[in-house]
Amino acid sequence: MSVKLTGPNDDDTPPRKYYFDGGQCEVIGEVVYELDPYGNRLRSFKLVDYTKEQVRILYRSALEIQQQWVNPEERSQIIDQLADRGIDFEDLKTVTNQPDADPFDLLCQIAFNVPMMTCQQRVERLKRQKKDSFDQYGADARAILEILLDGYAQGGPQQLIMPASLKVKAVEKYGNVREIAAKFGGRDKLKQAVD
């Protein structure tokens, strides 16, 4: 097994590796190190605790995150802000042992102790609670939404990024992006349906 330790000059220095002979090895936790605002003390946090602190600095409640998360541009800003602070959703999923968690739910659970749902559970809830929003579209548009939802259930929110999400094989059979948008009544209505 090798362990990569990185520092501020990752590009300049090669990563350090540690080796051991035989036995078992497992990751028991992740730690984040941060200098205090004065640059005098090095603080260490468990990744989950660090994430909780950072999310609570940025947002007062799960509702505040949710209001921004529903807009794809604002969602990207949230993800970028957290990435700037060294928070990665894949790392969080691994550390919390929640590989199927929706990133929004994972954040809210860590920061505000809100019950978490998987992407699949979110799709099922959407289909139950918002059935009428699917009925307003024609058969092809509903089929496209079903494909997109299945993609989200399998791969998370990055599967809904437009227009890349419309260029998967299952959706392409309905036409190019312009033809698909026409099935929804135009580009804006397609975006609204996916959002």
Q: Which tokens belong to 176?
A: 């190019």
Q: Which tokens belong to 132?
A: 């009428």
Handedness of CA 22, 13, 93, 56 (dihedral sign): positive
Q: Give the span between the Cα atoms of 168 and 176, in whole angstroms.
A: 11
pLDDT at site 5: 43
pLDDT at site 67: 92
Interval 139-176: pLDDT, tens: 888 888 888 888 888 877 777 778 778 888 888 888 88
Interval 30-51: pLDDT, tens: 666 666 666 766 666 788 888 8
What average pLDDT does range 48-64 have in this prediction?
91
Report whether pLDDT(108) > 90: yes
Q: Which tokens belong to 76?
A: 């990207």
What average pLDDT does range 69-73 have in this prediction?
83
DSSP code for 100: T
